[in-house]
Amino acid sequence: MLKSTMQQALNEQLAREMYSSNLYLAMAGYFQSINLKGFAHWMRLQAQEEMGHAMKFFDYLLDRGWTVQISKIDQPPSSWESPLAAMEASLKHERFISQNINELANLAIKEGDHGTNIFLQWFITEQIEEEANVSEIVEKLKLIGDWKGGLLMIDNELGKRTLAPSPKETQE
């Protein structure tokens, strides 16, 4: 039995971040299967980043002396209709996550939990960046339409992504 509403809400977010990681790993598999190795590389790093987010919730729960409860994670899809469909699904998911983070911040304010509110500020900023990054890829894919050369150019560009420092490293 979890002690507080906030504790439970943070554990639910931990599960969502783990799902995000699995979703992007599934997308990496999809992109690799259609020979878009740059997209696949980008998604592999995205999956790693999401696991970093999950670990940040994990560590925070422990720092507060709360219980970590690892729940069952839903199975993500394994294929999408097109690269655009996959990236649009990613954008939709990130908007959902942003909404969750905002709701958590609202709860922290309502409960007067200043520590959790400060902890969540990093995620609020991160979500703006994540949505912007994915949105940019979606717009580029829309721009090129059916032009295969354009798709390969985007693939080449995404293949150059490097992993951003983990949340803990940027905060410490």
**What residue ranges bind ligand FEO (CB under 6 A)?**
17, 20, 50, 53, 94, 97, 130
**Which residue's beta carbon is nearest to the bound ligand FEO?**
53
Comparing CB distances to ligand FEO, the nearer of 30 and 57 is 57
DSSP 101-161: HHHHHHHHHHHT-HHHHHHHHHHHHHHHHHHHHHHHHHHHHHHHTT-HHHHHHHHHHHTT-
Comparing CB distances to ligand FEO, the nearer of 125 and 156 is 125
Comparing CB distances to ligand FEO, the nearer of 95 and 150 is 95
Length of the chain: 172
Amino acid letter, 124 = I
Comparing CB distances to ligand FEO, the nearer of 17 and 113 is 17
Comparing CB distances to ligand FEO, the nearer of 69 and 98 is 98
The minimum distance between CB 74 and ligand FEO, in angstroms, equals: 16
CA nearest to 9, candidates 130, 131, 121, 102 = 102
The minimum distance between CB 148 and ligand FEO, in angstroms, equals: 29
The minimum distance between CB 166 and ligand FEO, in angstroms, equals: 12
Query: Rounded distance, CA 141 to CA 154, Å?
Result: 8
The minimum distance between CB 135 and ligand FEO, in angstroms, equals: 13
The minimum distance between CB 16 and ligand FEO, in angstroms, equals: 8
Dihedral, CA atoms, 108, 109, 112, 118, nearest 10 degrees?
70
